[in-house]
Amino acid sequence: MMNMASPRIEQALQGVASGLRDAIPIMLGYGPLAFAYGVLAVQTGLSVAAAVAMSVFVYAGASQFMAVALLAADAPMGSIILTTLVVNLRHVLMSASISPYLGSVSRARLAALAYQLTDESFAVISERASREGLQVPWMTGLQSGAHLAWICGSALGTWVGSGITDPSRWGFDFALTALFIALLLAQIKDKITLSVAVVAVSVHRLMQLSVPGPWGLVFAAMIAAWTGSVLAERQLADPDVGGNKNEGVSK
């Protein structure tokens, strides 16, 4: 029995190690971003323990930055919870898109994997899923490495943050925006993805001008997802619709 289990354990450990290696770019990006969050959190008045606990249990960069901003504005706790919930509704769409690759995984493991799913890890997971499928050990290594980097960066930021009087002077308030811009550019690979990006940005901007609150983000994501599905179906009927998938937007 032990001899039969050993190859499985070794294979699982190799998968985790491979996931950790693939997580290195995410970890390098998360370090400065989490550091910025830690600085802003203590500047808002959160204790070091509370700020780090949010990174451990909430682990949602955009929502953590938004929660810190709302706390700084003395917003009611109910509105903070509702706003962060709405912002994180995009995770429903992300989870739905990778669930077909995890059909045989138990609900307990799915819950653990979903807990650590982020925009950045989703981008890496989606690319791998379309290329060679998904393995739980690899996803565990990828997401655990990214989560650890976020926690460590947050802790360091809270420690340094007490000595910084003006975070915006150092650009910490722009860190999350810069990361999402980089993620967007990395995902634009053909005419379809470019069209989806343009639709998402345009709809979100229009919603910002007409609908207060975070609902514009959810609506823009839904419209962009619908646009992508329609264009993908058209590409199946006519391969020229999406352009050459090996041809980048820019050379």
Per-residue model confidence as pLDDT tens digits over 33-75:
898 889 888 888 889 999 999 999 999 887 888 788 778 777 7
Which residue's entry shows tokens 């429903």?
Answer: 92
Is position 233 within any domain?
yes
pLDDT at 143: 96
Instruction: For residues 197 and 177, give the distance between their C-alpha atoms in angstroms, rounded to a whole number.
Output: 15
A 10 A CB-CB count for 25 gives 12
Is position 6 within any domain?
no
Does residue 172 or residue 57 have the better pLDDT? 57
| Rg of the chain, C-alpha, whole Å | 20
Mark which of 138, 173, 208 sits at the end of a domain: 173
pLDDT tier at 162, thresholds 50, 70, 90: confident
Instruction: For residues 201 and 47, give the distance between their C-alpha atoms in angstroms, rounded to a whole number.
Output: 35
Co-location of 193 and 162 in the same domain: no
Instruction: For residues 249 and 239, give the distance between their C-alpha atoms in angstroms, rounded to a whole number.
Output: 17
Is position 108 within any domain?
yes
Co-location of 164 and 223 in the same domain: no
pLDDT at 245: 44
Q: What is the pTM of this model?
A: 0.68
Residue 2 pLDDT exceeds 50? no
Does residue 248 or residue 150 have the better pLDDT? 150
Does residue 112 or residue 170 have the better pLDDT? 112
Domain that holds residue 120: 12-173
pLDDT at 153: 95
Percent of the chain at pLDDT > 70 equals 81
By CB atoms closer than 10 A (0-12, 13-18, 19+), residue 250 is: exposed
Structurally, how many domains does the chain consist of? Answer: 2
Co-location of 192 and 167 in the same domain: no
Structure tokens given for 244:
């050459």
Name the residue among 40, 109, 39 with its Cα closest to residue 68. 40
Co-location of 16 and 140 in the same domain: yes
Residue 119 pLDDT exceeds 60? yes
pLDDT at 18: 94
Mark which of 123, 138, 173 sits at the end of a domain: 173
Residue 17 pLDDT exceeds 90? yes
Q: Among the residues of 45-89, which ranges form H helices?
A: 48-57, 61-72, 77-87
Query: What's the first-to-final CA gap in the chain, in angstroms?
Result: 55
Residue 156 pLDDT exceeds 80? yes
A 10 A CB-CB count for 71 gives 16
Residue 176 pLDDT exceeds 80? no
pLDDT tier at 125, thresholds 50, 70, 90: very high
Residue 154 pLDDT exceeds 90? yes
pLDDT at 215: 66
Does residue 100 or residue 249 have the better pLDDT? 100
